[in-house]
Chain A
Amino acid sequence: MEILWILVKIIIVFAVVMLHVMYATYFERKVIGHMQVRMGPMRVGPHGILQPIADGLKLFFKEDIIPTVADKKVFYAAPLICLISALSAIAVLPFFEGFAIANINIGILYIFAMSSLASYGVVLAGWSSNSKYSFLGGLRSSAQVISYEIAMGLSLVGVMMMAGSLNLTDIVHAQMNSPFKVYLIPQIIGFFVFVVAMFAETNRTPFDLPEAESELVAGYCTEYSGMRFALFFMAEYIGMIVMSCLAVTCFLGGWSGPFEVPGIPFFWFLLKVYFFIFLYYWVRATLPRYRYDQLMALGWKVLIPLALFNIVLTGTIKSIFG
């Protein structure tokens, strides 16, 4: 019975996430469009509301081109690795009180593990395409994701120390009982490091180097087309959603809000996640792109020391007051 309930939950969450992915693309194009004093998609349906469906159909029916010199097996596997690991990370996210597919004790570590695995998909895609641009994209991705993983992990250590748990539900509970109700204020440094690392981890502007279209054409997915390309795309958006959820859970108090909204227990959670997704788009519309070496310098020389400082600070305060 319990397995059935879990299956139902999985299906519900999967459907909701996929719908969000679809409309995240639409929302992105609209938001960036309006920020750039244009309209965004306007053709399919009123105000282009059916655009994601049209895109999906188009990508689905496109010819699947595989370069003759590509390493076929890896080439097939790479987008799946990306998508599956991105999807798996959703399993431990608590959407509202008592609703998480798997409420495991090492939720944060699990998410880290999954997001590192997703980067393997990118690296393998770059390698197996046997294209020079893809290869450079894969190289960049491996360097970038691995170094930003550290900063991200360290930035969450403060949260773990304050909550005393790696379980995401427990972290939310701990936040609700804390004096500020959210960890944003005591962990502001950690939050800053986390947000920057979050952008880098999901390969979004200003850290979208693995697919920097002006230098590497499309980076690791240069040789991909049709559905396989769409899988990468979905993985990227799911990654964004997961990272936003993680940020909301760890710093903004998860599903808790200033008042209860009757009947919609996930109202505040969704609202906060939407804000983060909007932030992604907003930053993309505003900032230029870093260069590879500058990105690494930022990660290793600024973010990791900051995160370490944050750990020391949190520890000191905790040992004095707590």
Chain B
Amino acid sequence: MPENKSESKQTTVQHMAYEPYTVAMGPQHPATHGVLKLDLELDGETILECKPTVGFLHRGVEKLAENISYAQCLPLTDRLDYIAAMANNVAYSVAVETLLGIEVPLRAKYIRTMVMEMARLTGHLLWLATHALDIGAMTVFLYCFRERENLLDMFEEICGARLTTSYTCIGGVRQDVTGHFLESLHAFTDEFPSRIAEYETLIDKNRIWLQRTQGVGVVSAEDAVSLGLTGPTLRGSGVDYDVRKHMPYDAYPYVEFEVPIGSKGDVYDRYRCRMEEMHQSNSIIRQCIEALPPGPIRAEDAPDLVMPYGPQKVVEADATFSSGIIKLVEDRKRFIKGDVYVAAEVPKGELGFYFVSDGRGVPYRMHIRSPSYIHIGALPFLCKGQMVADVIAIIGSVDVVLGECDR
């Protein structure tokens, strides 16, 4: 590199001495999946050390949640993993319902399971798209988006938004499904396995793909558990842990599916895990459509969106209503003191909500255990000794979203 001229003349000898080459990868970089920054120390192209920096997208969701009611927190969860917002909605609702002890009607359970698996498909499709694009197979990217588009259209049909869905509510779902939705989704499930075969034609056995993924970013089962990895990233290492099986929620106890588990724990195994999961999700969606029972879609004892309040509370109409709401919901008997940790399996892994309730209608403390945060924390471990191009493959394979990581 050309240095400052006067300096380079004087210090030629010192410059010969070995020093690692540092590269700041991100926060503006095509392949860090958002605003992730990695400080890489390189020896040639080999990574000596990788230090992730996060927080560029920190919006203080947890602090915000302490000041708004449970129902109002729900749209915030759309913005965690904005790729599969539906799954976050379901995870959040399940957590709040556990806290409040609400039993959800069966139809709502099935609908939620259905949309959660659809969200898993959208998440995995976007993961495959970007992962393949990072490794250079750009056609897979657009093929995946073709199917993802169909799923987003269906989301739009049932809830009026494509990404920030806010579809569930505490105690059920906000809208019932329509016949057109069911029919198009059923047609989609018929079509989808052949689409997966299409992606696999391009990459699955391709020698370049295999060379780029096999034996890269290997993490053993013990290390994976110790690092706190979850979801397909953990299962690629051969650990059988899936929240849907271990702590079933919604309609997962009633549907049949298998949890794909890898063996070596490299990028290729994680890739295979997610591809198999797409098949499983497709089958779950189908089972949910066919078993969808009639009945109510919201629990009778579910709290309303707006808590009842008296007119005296709204004096200054322009003011923010935080104090008003907090006072109002104190009257409700439903909210009792206690804490719960409830997790759900979202596309990225285990999304857990830890709630502390002090008996008011707002969470006293809401902590989001976001899988992406933990996965990025594991990147230094995974990247050590790999090459620059592998870092991209590894980031792709652990599947991170910075909206969820930074919260």
A206 touches B136 (CB 8 A): yes
Contacting A at CB under 8 A, from B15-64, are 21-24, 29-31, 45
Q: How far is the CB of A52 from chain B (nearest CB, A)?
A: 21
Nearest-Cβ distance from residue B156 to partner chain A, whole angstroms = 20
- Please report the C-alpha to C-alpha distance between residue A286 and residue B146 in the assembled complex, in whole angstroms: 17
B27: min CB distance to chain A, Å: 12
Q: Are B139 and A286 in contact (CB under 8 A)?
A: yes
Contact with B along A191-226 (1 / 0, CB 8 A): 000000000000001101100111111000000000
Q: Are B208 and A289 in contact (CB under 8 A)?
A: yes
Cβ distance A156 to chain B, nearest Cβ, rounded Å: 25
Cβ proximity bits B54-94 to A, threshold 8 Å, 1 near / 0 not: 00000000000000000000000000000000000000000
Question: Cβ of A289 and Cβ of B2 under 8 Å apart?
Answer: no
Besides the contacts A35-B139, A209-B389, what 17 more A-B pairs have beta carbons closer than 8 Å?
A: A36-B141, A69-B2, A127-B2, A132-B24, A136-B23, A136-B45, A136-B388, A206-B208, A215-B388, A215-B389, A216-B388, A285-B138, A289-B208, A289-B212, A290-B208, A291-B387, A293-B45
> Number of residues in A with C-beta < 8 Å to the partner?
37
- Closest Cβ–Cβ distance, residue B217 to chain A (whole Å): 13
Contact with A along B115-142 (1 / 0, CB 8 A): 0000000000000000011111111011
A287 at the interface (CB under 8 A from B): yes
Contacts of A32 in B (CB 8 A): 138-139
Q: Please pick, from B2, B132, B146, B388, the residue contacting A288 in the complex, using a CB distance under 8 A.
A: B132
User: In the docked arrangement, what's the CA distance between A292 and B133, Å?
Assistant: 17
B269 at the interface (CB under 8 A from A): no
Distance, CA A32 to CA B140, complexed state (A): 12
Complex: how many Å from CA A19 to CA B208?
Answer: 34
Tell me whether A214 and B209 are in contact in the complex, defined as CB-CB below 8 angstroms, given that A37-B142, A287-B137 are known contacts: no
Contacts of A147 in B (CB 8 A): none
B392 at interface, CB cutoff 8 A: yes
B142 lies within 8 A of A36 (CB): yes
Bound CA span A136–B30, Å = 16
Q: B388 contacts A289, CB within 8 Å?
A: no
Residue from B23, B135, B390 in contact with A289 in the complex, judged by beta carbons closer than 8 Å: B135
Residue pairs across A and B with Cβ atoms less than 8 A apart, 6 shown, are A132-B23, A205-B136, A209-B389, A285-B138, A291-B390, A294-B211
Main secondary structure of the interface of A (DSSP, over half): helix
Instruction: Give Cα A206 to B208, complex, Å.
Output: 9
Query: Given contacts A71-B2, A215-B31, is CB(A38)–CB(B23) below 8 Å?
Result: no
A288 B392 Cβ-Cβ under 8 A: no
Total interface residues in chain B, CB < 8 Å: 35
- Contact assessment for A36 and B143 in the assembled complex, using a CB-CB cutoff below 8 Å: yes
Whether A214 and B135, one on each chain, are in contact in the complex, defined by CB atoms closer than 8 angstroms, is yes
Q: Which of A126-174 contact B (CB under 8 A)?
A: 127-128, 130, 132-133, 135-136
Given A127-B1, A135-B1: A292 touches B208 (CB 8 Å cut-off): no
Q: Known contacts A36-B142, A292-B45; is A130 also within 8 Å of B209 by CB?
A: no
Closest chain A residue, CB of each to CB of B46: A293
The 6 closest A-B pairs by CB, nearest first: A289-B136, A36-B142, A214-B31, A288-B137, A288-B136, A71-B2
B110 smallest CB distance to A (angstroms): 33
Q: State the CA gap A209–B23 with chains docked (Å).
A: 17
**One of B142, B206, B390 near A38 (C-beta < 8 A):** B142
When distances are taken between beta carbons in the complex, the residues of chain A under 8 Å from B306 are: none
Please, what's the 1-or-0 string for A276-320, where 1 marks a CB less than 8 Å from any CB in chain B?
A: 000000001111111111100000000000000000000000000
Residue among B135, B209, B389 with max Cβ neighbours from chain A (10 Å): B389
Least distance between B171 CB and chain A CB atoms (Å): 41
Q: Quick one: given A71-B2, A127-B1, A130-B1, are A292 and B139 in contact (CB under 8 Å)?
A: no
CB distance from A160 to the nearest CB of B (A): 31
Is B136 a contact partner of A214 (Cβ separation < 8 A)?
yes
Query: Are A36 and B138 in contact (CB-based, < 8 A)?
Result: yes
Q: How far is the CA of A295 from the CA of B23 in the complex (A)?
A: 22
Question: 8 Å CB contacts to A: which residues of B183-215?
Answer: 202-203, 206, 208-209, 211-212
| Set of chain A residues within 8 Å of B212, measured between Cβ atoms | 288-291, 294
Contact with A along B385-405 (1 / 0, CB 8 A): 001111110000000000000
Tell me whether A214 and B392 are in contact in the complex, defined as CB-CB below 8 angstroms, given that A285-B139, A288-B135, A288-B212 are known contacts.
yes
Are A290 and B133 closer than 8 Å at their CB atoms? no
Name the one of A74, A215, A286, A291 contacting B211, with C-beta atoms under 8 angstroms: A291
Q: Which residues of A contact B137 (CB under 8 A)?
A: 286-288
Give the residues in chain A near B134, CB-CB below 8 Å: 214
Bound complex: CA A293 to CA B45 (Å): 9
* Distance of A127 Cα from B2 Cα, bound (Å): 7
